[in-house]
Amino acid sequence: MLRTCLIATAALAAAPVFAQSIDRVDYGPRPLYLIDRMADGPLKDKLMSCSAQEAAPSLFSIGHRGAPMQFPEHTVESNVAAARMGAGILECDVTFTKDLELVCRHAQNDLHTTTDILATPLASTCVTPFTPAEGDTQAGAECRTSEITLDEYRTLTPKMDAADRSATTVDAYLGGTADWRTDLYSAEPATIMTHAESIELFKSLGAKFTPELKSPSVEMPFNGFSQEDYAQKLVDEYKAAGIPAADVWLQSFNLEDVLYWIEAEPEFGAQAVYLMDEYNIEGYSPMDPATWPNTMEELKAMGVNYIAPPTWMLVTLDGEEIVPSELAVQAKAADLKIVTWTIERSGPLVRGGGWYYQSIGDITSSDGVMYDYIDALAQDVGVEGIFSDWPATVTYYANCMGLE
């Protein structure tokens, strides 16, 4: 009997727990660290005046894959950390396995950088095996969820999204974490999730949902699974879990997915978010409507209510002042709601901020610029929410400014 109880206890301990709860929200030291580095002025004074405020969840604060600045993305641990920092909405990027099960992964073909697959027997399923660096050729691999079953997927150990492109061995390739991130929370295995399990977890954390339907790396239909089937299955898992449409913001970079939801699932489609990657079009500029594939009025006429461009597309500089871009101005004029991505994904801003700060690069030389950026997006552009890799930063601002 004792042996039976011990076996049962061990099995229980080994089983993933997807229902969690949090007792309180905590900012940690980072928001005040950033505020300390701001230039003196009214915004800094306002933010500093909130230093004793009680932290609370906010829908303005969206966990981008959880809290992946320090936790392996799309894991239970990453999302619990985000909820503890007040993210009122959490994200599961959705792709599918060989047996057509939906799982949380940023891309269908990222297993070689986000898990240990190359160090497991499942390395044999990778569409491009590991190739070591040699001369001017970087190390590389490509491993897809569509090449493995859900049961096989569950055997993988998630890690920080990184790869050492100079590596000559698999072990070295699986490293490469940026120096401003950490492997501290990867030492013990984090918990990988299916999409359905993310729904269970986020609901238990008191958060709302923003799943992103990722573009497949395989040709569709795949094993009889069409793009419409894929988009519909995403919605069906919310229905099966009893989640109201008002609590879900479906996302896709594929406008056709958004239009499918608007037509086939109008309750969910009303909050479907069109993620904008028009920056990939040669000659595109958020300041020049002549370069846009669709005007803001045209998107609105299609039934789109939410757009989500990256942060830099929504602002420009007037001297040293951050002001709305033409895209932002016309989106608001067309009565489109705006969500944006991603704060806390750029490393120390003393290095210039890189891709996410490209439209304000001339004034980006200190971490203190981050709250100027957030403030311009919130107050001048009027965004509905901001994705962050470390949600406490946005939660603090939202609480201080009275944003729900």
Per-residue pLDDT tens over the stretch 59-85: 999 999 999 999 999 999 999 999 999
- Our CA angle for 266, 240, 214, nearest 5°, is 65
What's phi and psi for 19, nearest 5 deg?
A: -95, 120
What domains, with CATH codes, occur in the chain? 21-92+193-210+276-401 (3.20.20), 109-185 (no CATH)
What's phi and psi for 169, nearest 5 deg?
A: -130, 160
- For residue 53, the SS3 value is coil
Per-residue DSSP letter, 351: G
Write the pLDDT tens digit of every residue in 355-372. 999 999 999 999 999 999
- Asked if residue 11 has pLDDT above 70, the reply is no
Q: Give the number of C-alpha atoms closer than 13 A to the C-alpha of residue 106, restricted to the C-beta side.
A: 19
Q: b or e along 142-159 (b: 16 or more beta carbons within 10 Å of the residue's beta carbon)? A: bbbbbbbebebbeebbbb
Nearest to 352 by CA among 364, 368, 344: 364
| Whole-number percent of the chain with pLDDT over 70 | 96
- Our CA angle for 139, 142, 148, nearest 5°, is 145
Write the pLDDT tens digit of every residue in 13-70. 344 568 888 999 999 999 999 999 999 999 999 999 999 999 999 999 999 999 999 9
Confidence of residue 230 (pLDDT cuts 50, 70, 90): very high
Per-residue DSSP letter, 352: T
Please indicate, yes or no, whether the overall pTM of this predicted structure exceeds 0.85. yes
- Asked if residue 207 has pLDDT above 70, the reply is yes
What's phi and psi for 140, nearest 5 deg?
A: -165, 170
Query: Which helix (H) or strand (E) covers residue 114, if one does?
Result: helix 111-114
- For residue 137, the SS3 value is strand
Per-residue DSSP letter, 194: B
- Asked if residue 256 has pLDDT above 50, the reply is yes
Tokens describing residue 115? 């898990």
Read off the pLDDT of each residue in 323-333 and give the average, rounded to a whole number: 98
* Cβ atoms of 368 and 34 closer than 8 Å: yes
- Asked if residue 248 has pLDDT above 60, the reply is yes
- 139-144 LR contacts (CB < 8 Å, sep 24+): 139/163, 139/164, 139/165, 139/166, 139/167, 139/168, 139/173, 140/165, 141/112, 141/173, 142/109, 142/112, 143/109, 143/110, 143/111, 143/112, 143/115, 143/117, 143/118, 144/108, 144/109, 144/111, 144/217, 144/218
DSSP string, 54-76: PP--EEEEEESSSSTTTS-TTBH
pLDDT at residue 17 in the model? 60
